[in-house]
Amino acid sequence: MKAAAVAIASLVALTALALLSPQWLVFMAMLMLAKGVVVLGLLVLMRTGLVSFGQGLYFGIGAYAAALLSHGLHVADAAVMLLAGAAAAALIAALLGLLLAGYRDIFFAMLSLAFSMILYGLLVKSAALGSTDGFNLHARTFFGVALAPGVERRVFLIAGAVFAVVVALLVHRLFRGHWGRLATGVRDNELRVSYLGASPYRAVYVNYLIAGAMAGLGGALAALAVGHVDPETTYWTTSGEFVFIAILGGTQSILAPFVAATIFEALRTVASQYAPNLWQMSLGLAMLAIIMFLPAGLWTLAERRRRSA
Amino acid sequence: MSAVLTAQGLHKSFGAVRAAADINLTFDPDTVVSLIGANGAGKTTFLNIVTGYLRPDSGHILFGERDIVGFSPRQITKLGISRSFQIPQLFNSLSVRENLLVAESIAATDDPQAATDEALTRFELAPYAAQKAGLVPEGIRKLLDVAMALSSRSKLLLLDEPTSGVSADEKVAIMDVVIGAARAARVTVIFVEHDMDIVARFAGRVVAFYDGGIIADGSPDTVLRAENVRRYVIGEEIPHAAA
Amino acid sequence: MSSILPVAFDGIAYASWLFLISAGLTLIYGVMRILNVAHGSLYALGAYAACSLAGVWLGGGLPAAGSFAMLLLAAILVGCLVGPLIERGLLQWMYGKDEVVLVLITYAVFLIMEDVIKLVWGVDSLLLPEPYALPGYFLLGGLPYPVYNVLLIAMALATGLALAWALYRTRKGKLLLAVIHDREMSMAMGINVSRVYLATFAVGATLAALGGAFTAPTIAVTPGIGVEVIVLAFAVVVIGGLGSLGGAALGALLVGLVRAATVRYWPEAELFSIYAVMAMVLIARPKGLFAAQEARKI
């Protein structure tokens, strides 16, 4: 099967990267995976026609949940941290989703943004959590196995790769089956979905929950990569970044978010080196260009080439 | 035999407009009933009330024995009333086949794929199966809309102007397919229609609406000949006969 | 009891500032169906332009009172030059796109303008304390209170009344209301929608810049000041009901008072309280306090 082949190839490539490449590249690959997972979650939500400008909420919850485990409870196992990040985000998404699933379009987008700003407001004022500075976290074991200093990140990257690939395969299955078609149905015509006897509210709720859990996983992975968390993770510009990456890649493919996240991180690294004051402008211009000329995202370029070949 | 659907004393107004004024109707199983009337007479309002899209100001809707006033469209669909729309309500970015597949999957059919293939054949949609629903001709969209409504294995099928928006010579063909499929599924049909030839040809009973109320109810022969129906519904110029 | 008065004053002053910005945002949304993220940049531009113009004025040794005129001039310049530039140069090609896509487009404009500001004015903070200190202070509940805030309140009131008058009492304003109510019908009736859009965007941009220009004397003007403002204004507008001017006024007042009260009695919850109010309003009234009715679909 094609999806399985791509999954295995990705895993092998990432494992090789984790074992052989310099530390900075390992770090970047982790960030890329983390953001890719968050954006893939956003894609799940976008299937129902909704865009969240507040995924930073779950990204931040995932990051802080992982960090608090190490900081407060002295749990230093990376696998537990990743799962806890996803679980904490899913828990909050399950609550907020009850309210948000009733909203559509711009109201959904802005209300989700408001919730992320509530958390931001709490975090910057919370002295116990380091206020605007945040705090550091440490992971020393993986599934109970103690790691030698210096190789932790390499192991975390492999762990992140396994988690990301599994999640991506699940989403792939989801999109191809009834649930994916139903979500598209909700996007196209909610009235008809209701008149077929299904609940658009429930479809949106479940997809919101999935997107939240994935953002939490991504947040925990990013926290492991950086070794530090701060309120910036929940700020609306972080959420905006996720939406940008989603637009950049397009919604055609499961791989698109990861490719787009890689391009995004690579560009950001180059820009921060050579033209820190032109980074946002380049982002803005790129976003306009994509919306105008490639409304389905960069992935359309790859598709076009494949078709003409 | 007990009635499939009973409307008792339905009232509904929008501001000063009476959309339903004391509607009392009973529909028997395995019948095909046509609702006629000028635009704004209250036909679609009646369908919207029955399917829970609108809540009546007062009155009851009994589906079998059960009062369904206050139920949502989704609950009512699950109970066994389905409908099609004057403007087909489809999933435009999905293919014709995928549209049906969504419908059959929601209906929790044992084998949605097989049920979809069956519906494609029955509704003569197979040649269009792979095309996007947003891009097929209006007649095909109309048929797909009805096919999706029938997927829920309902007992009562409401059709809102199933032949509007298609050319005159297509109308009979579409209705042949639709009524044939409904008969095969043993479902009671209520359809709103403006074309009196179609009404006369396919309906076993005709209910005429005017200004939110019912002005005639009976066999096509009697209703379509009634003077007030000819005047108010069909719009014929009838000289005032001496009383 | 003595502490209530300053809190109320603070709240109303904050509400006045919020209203100036939110009124522009809701006006643009009401007419053009664009939730303009770049509104934050126009606000920032207003503040920067005010610093430059008033700086030149004061640097030239001209009478200090004239710096207020410079603040106003800065806002009008930004609104009537940059506003139309964005609308004619970009947005006019985007009408008819999905509302969420339009948000992204204005978000892109916002990102671009953030860097433009850095390129023009640099990354260091600018200070313009003179206009704030100039009118002096009066005693409120035994404490000195800046007269500048009273001026701000007066200006927001005047702006609000002028907007209401222009919308409901003039022919042009009624045309605008017609466009808000039913765009297709307005076009069919021969209203030049393109020109209405241009004018609306210029007015909205001027209001954002006005908010920025009159904030400049009270803060250190640094890159990124538009970032927080835009989400605040969103909250206000959503509370009031998208596209409703009265809603923006009420939303601004609600947020202003709640914020002032939390800053005074529970400072940790400042940001939290604002968005909590928004969430609560939306739970009670899903489309905001003054929401438009939706038409039947089938």
Query: Between B91, B101, B106, which is nearest A197 by CB?
Result: B106
Q: Which domain holds residue A27?
A: 2-235
Domain annotation for chain C: domains and CATH numbers: 4-284 (1.10.3470)
Q: Is B84 on the interface with C (CB under 8 A)?
A: no
Domain annotation covers residue A288: no
Provide φ and ψ at B209, rounded to 5°. -100, 145
Residue of B nearest to A182 (CA): B102
| Beta partners for residue B214, in sequence order | B209
Interface of A with B (CB under 8 A): 178, 181-182, 184-185, 187-189, 191-199
Domain count, chain A: 1
Closest CA to B215 of B234, B190, B236: B234
Query: Does residue B192 contact residue B45 with C-beta atoms inside 8 Å?
Result: no
Whether residue C296 has pLDDT greater than 60 = no
Listed in sequence order, the DSSP H helices in C3-98 are: 4-32, 39-59, 67-77, 83-89
Domain annotation covers residue A247: no
The SS3 call for residue C114 is helix
In this prediction, residue A297 has a pLDDT band, given cuts at 50, 70 and 90, of confident
Query: Does residue C67 contact residue C131 with C-beta atoms inside 8 Å?
Result: yes
- Residue C2's pLDDT is 57
Closest CA to C75 of C100, C106, C51, C107: C51
Q: How many beta carbons lie within 10 A of that of residue C295, not counting itself?
A: 5
CB contact under 8 A, A182 and B105: yes
- Residue A76's pLDDT is 74
CA distances from C117 to A274, B64, C47, C112 (A): 18, 70, 11, 9
Residue of C nearest to B160 (CA): C298
Whether residue C256 has pLDDT greater than 70 = yes
- Residue A291's pLDDT is 85
- Residue B237's pLDDT is 67
Calpha distance A274→A282 (Å, rounded): 13
Q: B237 vs chain A: nearest CA distance in angstroms?
A: 40
Whether residue A308 has pLDDT greater than 70 = no
Touching subunits for chain B (3+ Cβ pairs under 8 A): A, C
Closest CA to B165 of B197, B143, B191: B143
Query: Between C115, C268, C297, which is nearest A281 by CB?
Result: C115
Q: How many beta carbons lie within 10 A of that of residue C251, not counting itself?
A: 30
Calpha distance B194→B162 (Å, rounded): 10
Give the model confidence (pLDDT) of A68-103 as tens digits. 888 777 677 888 889 999 999 999 999 999 989 988
Q: Concatenate the DSSP letters of all residues of A101-126 into one string.
A: TT--HHHHHHHHHHHHHHHHHHHHT-
Calpha distance B112→A82 (Å, rounded): 38
Residues 6+ apart with CB under 8 A from A248: A260, A263, A264, A286, A287, A290, A297, A298
Touching subunits for chain C (3+ Cβ pairs under 8 A): A, B
The SS3 call for residue A145 is strand
Residue of B nearest to A183 (CA): B102
CA distances from A88 to A62, A125, B167 (A): 7, 21, 58
- Residue A305's pLDDT is 63
Q: Is B89 on the interface with C (CB under 8 A)?
A: yes
| Beta partners for residue B208, in sequence order | B36, B216
Residues of C in contact with A236 (CB under 8 A): 227, 231
The angle, 0 to 180 degrees and rounded to 10, between the axes of the packed helices A178-188 and B96-106 is 110
Residues of B in contact with C298 (CB under 8 A): 44, 48, 53, 85-87, 89, 160
Q: B48 vs chain C: nearest CA distance in angstroms?
A: 8
| Beta partners for residue A186, in sequence order | none
- Residue B243's pLDDT is 40
CB contact under 8 A, A185 and B102: yes
Domain annotation covers residue A242: no
Give the side-chain half-sphere CA count within 13 A for A156: 35
List Cβ<8 Å contacts ≥24 apart for C57-65: C58/C130, C64/C130, C64/C131, C64/C134, C65/C134
Q: How many beta-carbon contacts under 8 Å exist across A and C?
A: 113
Query: Between C103, C115, C278, which is nearest A278 by CB?
Result: C115
* Token duo for residue B241: 């006969």
Residue of B nearest to A194 (CA): B74
Look up tokens 């909700």; give the residue: A186
Provide φ and ψ at C137, rounded to 5°. -130, 155
Give the model confidence (pLDDT) of A259-276 as tens digits. 999 988 888 888 888 887
Q: What is the 3-state secondary structure (H, E, C) of chain B?
A: CCCCEEEEEEEEEECCEEEEEEEEEEECCCCEEEEECCCCCCHHHHHHHHCCCCCCCEEEEEECCEECCCCCHHHHHHHCEEEECCCCCCCCCCEHHHHHHHHHHHCCCCCHHHHHHHHHHHCCCHHHCCCEHHHCCHHHHHHHHHHHHHCCCCCEEEEECCCCCCCHHHHHHHHHHHHHHHHHCCCEEEEECCCHHHHHHHCCEEEEEECCEEEEEECHHHHHHCHHHHHHHHCCCCCCCCC
List Cβ<8 Å contacts ≥24 apart for B231-239: B232/B37, B232/B38, B232/B208, B233/B36, B233/B37, B233/B38, B233/B41, B233/B208, B233/B209, B234/B196, B235/B38
Between residues B53 and A129, the one the model is more confident about: B53
Query: In chain C, what percentage of residues exceed pLDDT 90?
Result: 33
Closest CA to B46 of B233, B148, B190, B239: B190
Q: Is C283 on the interface with A (CB under 8 A)?
A: yes
CB contact under 8 A, C238 and A284: no
Domain annotation covers residue A295: no
Q: C296 vs chain B: nearest CA distance in angstroms?
A: 10
Q: Is A288 on the interface with C (CB under 8 A)?
A: yes
Whether residue A279 has pLDDT greater than 70 = yes
Residues of A in contact with C123 (CB under 8 A): 277
Calpha distance A287→B129 (Å, rounded): 36
What angle (nearest 5°) sits at the alpha carbon of residue A292, between those of residues A290 and A293?
A: 70
Closest CA to A54 of A187, A169, A215: A215
Domain annotation covers residue A278: no
Residues of B in contact with A181 (CB under 8 A): 91, 94, 98, 101-102, 105
Calpha distance C201→A294 (Å, rounded): 27
The SS3 call for residue A130 is coil
Query: Between C111, C123, C234, which is nearest A283 by CB?
Result: C111
- Residue B238's pLDDT is 63
Look up tokens 């009344």; give the residue: C161
Whether residue C297 has pLDDT greater than 60 = no
pLDDT in tens, chain B (243 residues): 589 999 999 999 888 888 888 999 999 999 999 999 888 888 999 999 999 999 999 999 999 889 999 999 999 999 999 999 999 999 999 999 999 999 999 988 788 889 999 999 999 999 999 999 999 999 999 999 999 999 888 899 999 999 988 888 889 999 999 999 999 989 999 999 999 999 999 999 999 999 889 998 999 989 888 888 888 777 776 665 544
Domain annotation covers residue A281: no
Q: How long, in residues, is chain A?
A: 309
* Token duo for residue A70: 């190490």
Calpha distance C289→A66 (Å, rounded): 39
Q: Is A277 on the interface with C (CB under 8 A)?
A: yes
Q: A110 vs chain C: nearest CA distance in angstroms?
A: 8
Q: Is C59 on the interface with A (CB under 8 A)?
A: no
- List strand residue ranges (DSSP E) for C78-164, in order: 137-140, 143-146
Domain annotation covers residue A227: yes
Calpha distance B147→A192 (Å, rounded): 12
Domain annotation covers residue A297: no
Q: How far is residue B115 CA from its own chain's centroid?
A: 22
Residues 6+ apart with CB under 8 A from C59: none
Residues of C in contact with B45 (CB under 8 A): none
Q: Is B219 on the interface with A (CB under 8 A)?
A: no
Residues of A in contact with B156 (CB under 8 A): none
Q: Is A245 on the interface with C (CB under 8 A)?
A: no
Q: How many beta carbons lie within 10 A of that of residue A182, not counting itself?
A: 26
Q: A49 vs chain B: nearest CA distance in angstroms?
A: 12
Name the C residues in 160-199 with CB < 8 Å from any A CB. Answer: none
User: Which stretch, B93-102, C99-108, C187-196, has highest mean pLDDT?
Assistant: B93-102
